[in-house]
Amino acid sequence: MRDPSAHILVVDDSVSTLEVLERNLVQEGYVASTAKSVDEAILILGRAPVDLVITDLRMPKVGGLDLIRHVREHFPDTAAIMITGYSSIESAVAAVKEGAEEYLTKPFTDEELISAVQRTLGRLRQRRASQQTQALASGAPFGLIGESPAMQRVYRAIEKAAAASATVLITGESGTGKELVARAIHYRSSRASAPFVPVNCGGIPEGLVESELFGHVKGSFTGAITTRAGFFIAADQGCIFLDEVGELTPAMQAKLLRVLEDNKVQMVGAAKPRVVDVRVLAATNKDLAGLVRRKTFRDDLYFRLNVISIELPPLRDRGDDIIPLVGFFLAKFAREADKPTPRLSDRAWRCLREYHWPGNIRELENVVQRLVVMIDGDEIDAADLPSLLHFAVPRGGFVQRTLAEVEAAHIRAVLAGVNGNKTRAAQILGIDRKTLRESLKRFGFTTEASNSDDTE
């Protein structure tokens, strides 16, 4: 299993030593490069990012201390380990002063080498996560964490959407951060000083949607004991964020389309409409285009909402973004719990990296919070992780299972990821609760996951 942040460069003038170290590192899943001299190592460092340099102390012409000094000055994000067959207190002190994280004396065992590598990479990850957290506190882009190519495309789209005034449709799986994107658009737009009003369309009882969105006047229906402005009026001059817009009924879709076209809202029971100036940002984890084809979502409303579209990538497609995300959540929840920020072992990092994260960043956040609360020591190991994370199928692997088996396994995994909450599981799967119940019955789920309470 490959560590996402483990390109290791081994530097030694002994060919046999290079071969042994390279073989051991590759067997552990690391990417290893070798160099027989400092000059060759510097060329490799200039061509590709290197996370860890393992260098011999004494080599012809230029030695390991000079290489570590060069790494510290020119590649501050690269860690270093010194190895030597001529051990002395003076050389060890000099290596540490120049920036070496570990100091190994030949001959050392395979276990000693790998342990030193794991400790060094663990500290490197912690530094990177801390740097990302500090960057966020000092103004990371839009309050979003991640520098992957997929997120860079999202950042560019946010900039363009913030400079425009058209409606925006934000799509992506549940838990990918659609509301964060909507807030980023609002607070970078000319409407930033006006209200941002988030609305969960799927969380409002069907009979109250119109009243909640547009407001009502006193006496307009049983229980309307006062006149109440709706969300659209509350968002006047600002933005309204309609999350789960695909959950609106056909009747409410027609009323929303009228508001978008006329910039007027009709309070329930009111004699005439009221003009509002509201920018609409909508989001869904459903395939709205597919709903249009099935005639369950209005095509005219879809086109009206989808003037600017931003698609958020799932966490599993964001590569190394999981590293700063985990670092941010570790620091956040450790601070809340008044505990030191724990570090993750190499095995724990690998489990997190290989898991498919059906609940995306929301699921990751919940997992990290649980870990911070439950562990007693200062290191999180693979054994501390939820059992589901231990059995993730590596992405890209060939799985000899039927489609029904894959579907059943995925439903079971999602249920486990949300602690058996069928409402949340249905949202993540992009189906309604009735369909989920039918699937559970069809696959014969009688485990705790299928019988869990649905309380949020």
- Residue 311, pLDDT > 90, answer yes
pLDDT in tens, 427-450: 777 788 888 888 888 777 654 444
Which listed CATH number (3.30.9.10, 3.90.1150.10, 3.30.450.20, 3.40.50.300) goes with 149-311?
3.40.50.300
CATH of 315-451, one of 2.170.150.20, 3.40.50.720, 1.10.8.60, 2.40.10.230: 1.10.8.60
Q: How confident is the model at residue 87 (pLDDT cuts 50, 70, 90)?
A: low
Strand ranges (E), 298-406: 308-311, 343-344, 379-380
Tens of pLDDT, residue by residue over 133-169, are: 555 544 456 678 888 899 999 999 999 999 999 999 9
Q: How confident is the model at residue 292 (pLDDT cuts 50, 70, 90)?
A: very high
User: What pLDDT is recorded for position 386?
Assistant: 86
Q: CATH 3.40.50.300 occupies which residues in the chain?
A: 149-311
Mean pLDDT of the 379-400 span: 67
Lowest mean pLDDT of 23-37, 171-185, 442-456, name the range. Answer: 442-456
Per-residue H/E/C for 347-373: HHHHHHHHCCCCCHHHHHHHHHHHHHH
**Residue 258 has what pLDDT?**
94
Tell me which fold the domain 7-108 belongs to.
Rossmann fold (3.40.50)
Percent of the chain topping pLDDT 90: 35
Asked if 103 and 64 count as a contact pair (C-beta separation under 8 A), the reply is no
The closest of 330, 442, 426, 429 to 375, measured between CA atoms, is: 330
Q: CATH 3.40.50.2300 spans which residues of the chain?
A: 7-108
Task: Say if CB 206 and CB 163 are below 8 A apart.
Answer: no
Judge if pTM exceeds 0.75: no
Confidence (pLDDT) at 452? 47
The rounded percent of the chain whose pLDDT value lies above 70 is 86
Which is nearest to 120 in space by CA: 39, 50, 58?
50
Provide the pLDDT for residue 243: 94
Q: Summarize pLDDT for 49-76 with one digit per residue, the tens.
A: 888 999 988 888 888 888 888 888 888 8
- Angle, alpha carbons 217-220-226 (nearest 5°): 45
DSSP run (H or E) holding 81: strand 79-84
Q: Which long-range contacts (CB under 8 A, 24 or more apart) does 422-426 make?
A: 422/452, 422/454, 423/454, 423/456, 424/174, 424/359, 424/456
Amino acid at 189: S
For residue 437, the model assigns a pLDDT of 84
Where, residue-wise, is CATH 1.10.8.60 in the chain? 315-451
**Gap between the Cα atoms of 236 and 189, Å rounded:** 15
Euclidean distance between CA atoms 82 and 55, whole angstroms: 5
Number of helices (H), then strands (E), in the chain: 19, 16
Given pLDDT bands bounded at 50, 70 and 90, which one contains residue 282?
Answer: very high
Mean pLDDT highest for which of 81-85, 102-106, 373-377? 373-377
Q: Count other Cβ atoms within 10 Å, centred on residue 304.
A: 18
